[in-house]
Chain A
């Protein structure tokens, strides 16, 4: 089984990027990845050599995420997200760009989990629809409807003025 470790190792940077975006912060993201790696190594004998390692390990991570969420430790704590970046407000030249990036993080966190997953897997990880269906264990039609709803919602969230945005969610 050990010959597949390098295939897993190669996915780690991508798992970390996805998990950070999915959970909204790198600490929770890395915890999720750590747990997914543990589970993947325990079940490596179940992986079909030659099949898609990325889809397999992302689906393990997805299942852990879903179970954690139903354990009700949800906390989309949007307002505190940028407390550590107060200095951003003093930067004028890059302020616009930074705002847009912050807004993307906020907007993603406001999406329902099932839409955020699809939007990130397709838009950031570059997964094909078919692969997303495999990872999330849902039909392709469902992938597409969640993608469409997620993107439409993201667009609206991004268009909103930041102040309105904060008023709405606090």
Chain B
């Protein structure tokens, strides 16, 4: 048996799991024979538990609006600081060449270029993503455990048969969803999470635009987003995911929404 004296530092490390593995046996043997130190370790552990009992409820609380406003304002202060004017010009030309013309998509770009104007579809989607993914305990209204109920409910509110896309092959599983509103229209938000806690959202609402669009990409607000219009519904897939990976997921999401209703 190693006779190095056990110090308070050792006991603190023991309580906080900072002790090297090779010291565990020595400390445990010491505690077995020293009831005073053992009582102290017990008391330190219960201090930790009690602090959690007193303060953990704060983690459940909604983030105060002032704090969200702060983040939101900062995002809009220089929302497209990294996009030079020629890039925006090039993008505008590209839109015209694509033949999309006016309609919903161009409207989106106009408001993108005027940060203080009404927010575009993709900005709304990214905004909703940001608000709800940061919720620690209440990210969704209805959890994935009630997926049938969730899908039926959101389908009814949006007036179209929806489904929660299955993107488990990309490592993301459904957390759940919620109903939101934007421009007085109902919006469905689905949230997904991977093993490391990265969260994606899919934002869906009806649109007046009759023309379908290809996938559009936006990283202007930091998060990457693909968005598109398909059969009078606008979709946005948002997350802190590299563009190529997000594209793969977007294809899967698009395909799933296009399957015939169950």
Contact = CB atoms under 8 A, between A and B. Distances in A.
Interface of A: 1-6, 8-10, 12-14, 16-17, 20-21, 26, 30, 33-34, 37-38, 41, 100-101, 104-105, 108, 119-120, 122-124, 128-129, 144, 147-148, 151-152, 154-155, 158
B48 A128 contact: no
Contact of A144 (B9, B40, B52, B53): B9
Interface in B32-88: 40, 43-44, 47-48, 50-56, 58-59, 61, 63-64, 66-67, 70-71, 74-75, 79
Interface string B187-204: 000000000000000000
Given A17-B55, A20-B55, A148-B9, A2 B79 contact: yes
15 contacts: A2-B79, A9-B134, A16-B58, A30-B67, A34-B67, A104-B50, A123-B51, A124-B52, A124-B55, A128-B18, A129-B16, A148-B8, A152-B8, A155-B44, A155-B47
B61 A16 contact: yes
A21 B58 CA distance: 10
B240 A124 contact: no
B12 interface: yes
- From A13, A20, A128, name the one whose CB has the most chain B CB atoms within 10 angstroms: A13
What 10 A-B pairs come out closest when comparing CB atoms? A3-B222, A2-B222, A9-B134, A17-B58, A123-B48, A124-B51, A41-B74, A13-B59, A104-B50, A148-B8
A6 B54 contact: no
A34 B52 CA distance: 23
A6 B240 contact: yes
A14 B67 CA distance: 13
Given A2-B74, A20-B55, A101-B50, 13 more contacts: A9-B130, A17-B56, A17-B58, A20-B58, A30-B66, A34-B66, A37-B70, A41-B70, A101-B53, A105-B54, A120-B51, A124-B52, A152-B40
A155 B9 contact: no
Nearest to B220: A2
A138 to B, nearest CB: 15
B256 interface: no
B44 A5 contact: no
Nearest to B76: A2
Nearest to A9: B134
> Per DSSP, are chain B's interface residues mostly helix, strand or loop, or mixed?
helix
B179 interface: no
A71 B97 CA distance: 62
B51 A21 contact: yes
A22 B79 CA distance: 35
Given A128-B18, A155-B47, A10 B134 contact: yes
Contact of B55 (A21, A100, A148): A21
Given A13-B58, A13-B59, A13-B61, A151 B67 contact: no
Interface in B186-238: 219-223
Contacts of B93: none
Contacts of B130: 5-6, 9
A88 B8 CA distance: 37
B240 A3 contact: yes
B9 A2 contact: no
B133 interface: yes
Which has the most chain B C-beta neighbours within 10 Å: A33, A34, A124?
A124
